[in-house]
């Protein structure tokens, strides 16, 4: 009888130990799961915070004339397309098919154009070029045959240099171009929070530095695809502190000059 009682007690103790182990293991697994879930939430929150606080840094690319600048005095003495492209390139060209001088209006080719059939500009082309005012944008479209410098074979080609007519002395922000770009970057950070680079577009903000050194005619030609960013950039350039030194013509007289801020995504 005593032997049976001892066996029964041993079985009961064994079952109790097994049950305790199972409960302890379950609690440990639950605790580990809670820890993992807590860490996961923390990581998720951290990632979300980083994403919601990210600021697109590569933002402002240039401040200056819209296209490659050409001084009014240089334009007045220009007589041929070769004078634009340079002798090294010009020497490769064997024959011209056509050369067109085209005015750019609202960032697009206009119907204001004159076409010739040689590198020498016609009287009508020269008149169009020389009658253009400061900040006029234009393109010269040339179709020609040239000798490939590597193969020596003749090839059909074309070139379309874009130009902006600038005064002999361009307008200058007295604190410097780098300071102006830094000012625009730093003060637009709030509007650029959470901007997704892939959704940005090349934007162009035009403004005129008047002969009195003030800023007028601020206009957005292209949107960055983020209205808040566009609005902030307009506000910043409109309310810009600091002084400008006005542009001057060849006689030293102060003149207006239009400049362009290229921001958003890198583009033409």
Q: CA-based diameter of the chain, in Å?
A: 132
Q: Does residue 187 share a domain with residue 127?
A: no
Q: Does residue 116 share a domain with residue 99?
A: yes
Q: Which tokens is 22 given?
A: 């199972």
Which distant-in-sequence residues (6+ apart) come within 8 Å of 177 by Cβ? 63, 64
Q: Does residue 235 share a domain with residue 220?
A: yes
pLDDT score of 54: 57
Residues in the chain, total: 268
**H-only helix segments in 162-259:** 177-186, 189-192, 227-238
Span of 29-33, 75-79, 137-141, 185-189 with lowest mean pLDDT: 29-33
Residue 66 and residue 119 in contact, taking contact as beta carbons nearer than 8 Å: no
pLDDT by residue (tens digit) across 236-259?
999 998 899 999 999 999 999 999
Q: Does residue 194 share a domain with residue 251?
A: yes
Residue 260 and residue 65 in contact, taking contact as beta carbons nearer than 8 Å: yes
pLDDT by residue (tens digit) across 140-188?
999 999 999 899 999 999 999 999 999 999 999 999 999 999 999 999 9
Domain with 205 in it: what CATH number? 3.30.1150
Domain boundary residue, one of 166, 201, 220: 166
Domain boundary residue, one of 125, 151, 166: 166
Q: Which tokens is 4 given?
A: 């049976």
Which distant-in-sequence residues (6+ apart) come within 8 Å of 48 by Cβ? none
Task: Specify the 3-state DSSP secondary structure of 218.
Answer: strand
Q: Does residue 109 share a domain with residue 78?
A: yes
Give the β-pairing of 108-116 and 93-105: antiparallel
The residues pairing with 248 across neighbouring beta strands, listed in sequence order, are: 169, 254
Total tally of structural domains belonging to the chain: 3
Tell me which residue range forms the domain holding 203: 60-66+169-264
Q: Does residue 153 share a domain with residue 186?
A: no
Burial 234-268 (b: 16+ CB within 10 A, else e): bebbeebeeebebbbeeeeebbbbbbbbbbbbeee
Q: Does residue 84 share a domain with residue 148?
A: yes
Cα separation, 117 vs 129, whole angstroms: 17
Q: Does residue 181 share a domain with residue 155?
A: no
Query: Is the model's pLDDT at 23 over the cut of 50?
Result: no
Q: Does residue 159 share a domain with residue 116?
A: yes
Q: Does residue 173 share a domain with residue 155?
A: no
Rounded average pLDDT over 102-108: 95
Q: Does residue 151 share a domain with residue 228?
A: no
Cα separation, 50 vs 35, whole angstroms: 22
- Choose among 65, 67, 138, 142: nearest CA to 103: 138
Q: Does residue 193 share a domain with residue 160?
A: no
């Amino acid at each position: 009888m005593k032997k049976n009682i001892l066996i029964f007690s041993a079985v009961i103790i064994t079952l109790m130990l097994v049950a305790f182990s199972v409960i302890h293991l379950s609690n440990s697994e639950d605790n580990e799961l809670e820890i993992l879930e807590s860490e996961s939430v923390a990581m998720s929150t951290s990632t979300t915070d980083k994403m919601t606080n990210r600021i697109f840094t590569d933002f402002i690319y240039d401040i200056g004339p819209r296209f490659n600048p050409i001084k009014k005095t240089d334009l007045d003495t220009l007589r041929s397309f070769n004078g634009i492209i340079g002798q090294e390139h010009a020497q490769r060209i064997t024959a011209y098919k056509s050369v067109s001088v085209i005015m750019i209006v609202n960032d697009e080719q206009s119907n204001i154009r004159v076409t010739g059939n040689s590198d020498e500009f016609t009287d009508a082309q020269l008149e169009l070029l020389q009658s253009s005012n400061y900040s006029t944008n234009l393109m010269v479209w040339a179709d020609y045959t040239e000798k490939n410098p590597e193969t020596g074979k003749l090839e059909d080609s074309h070139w379309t240099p874009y130009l902006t007519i600038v005064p002999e002395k361009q307008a200058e922000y007295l604190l410097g171009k780098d300071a102006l770009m830094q000012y625009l970057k730093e003060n637009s950070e709030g509007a650029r929070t959470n901007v997704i680079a892939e959704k940005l577009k090349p934007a162009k903000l035009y403004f005129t530095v008047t002969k009195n050194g003030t800023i007028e005619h601020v206009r957005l030609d292209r949107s960055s695809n983020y209205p808040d960013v566009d609005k902030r950039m307009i506000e910043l350039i409109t309310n810009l502190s600091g002084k400008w030194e006005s542009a001057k013509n060849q006689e030293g007289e102060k003149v207006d000059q239009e400049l362009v801020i290229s921001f958003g995504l890198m583009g033409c």
